[in-house]
Amino acid sequence: MIRSAAIVKTKALAPWRELRLQKRKLKKSQAAERKATKKVYPSPIISRVRYEAPNDDSPATREEMLKQAEAIGLKIDKRWSDATLLKNIEELQWATPSDSL
């Protein structure tokens, strides 16, 4: 719509543009209708969730590391993090000769 001070004119679309606009509106309404009536069949939870067995390579817990440190005679500081404790245990194990040879 074009407005001027005195005259108001309406601009007509070309026939091919009008047809294109109608098709676009029709497709949009069909898509909205399909979305509204869509049926969803969820799969059972068992098939979606896969159970994984715990790895044997999982890091040791703090309690396990404390028992191991006590067994090898390592003096432990309570402020040590798990990483520091594990590092000190490994260093002491490498430094002491193994009895199993």
Domain ranges for the chain: 60-95
- Please name the amino acid found at residue 52: E
Compare 45 and 83 and report the one with higher pLDDT: 83
Evaluate whether 85 touches 76 at the Cβ level (below 8 Å): yes
Evaluate whether 60 touches 85 at the Cβ level (below 8 Å): no
Please provide the average confidence, as pLDDT, over all residues in the chain.
81
Q: Tokens 């309404």 label which residue?
A: 29
Please tell me the predicted confidence (pLDDT) of residue 59: 73
pLDDT at residue 57 is higher than 70: no
Can you list the alpha helix ranges (DSSP code H) found in 12-52? 15-36, 45-48
Q: For the full predicted model, state whether its pTM sits above 0.75.
A: no
Average pLDDT over residues 80-94: 88
Percent of the chain with pLDDT over 90: 27
Average pLDDT over residues 1-24: 82
Taking the CA of residue 74 as centre, how many other CA atoms within 13 Å lie in the half-sphere pointing to its CB? 23
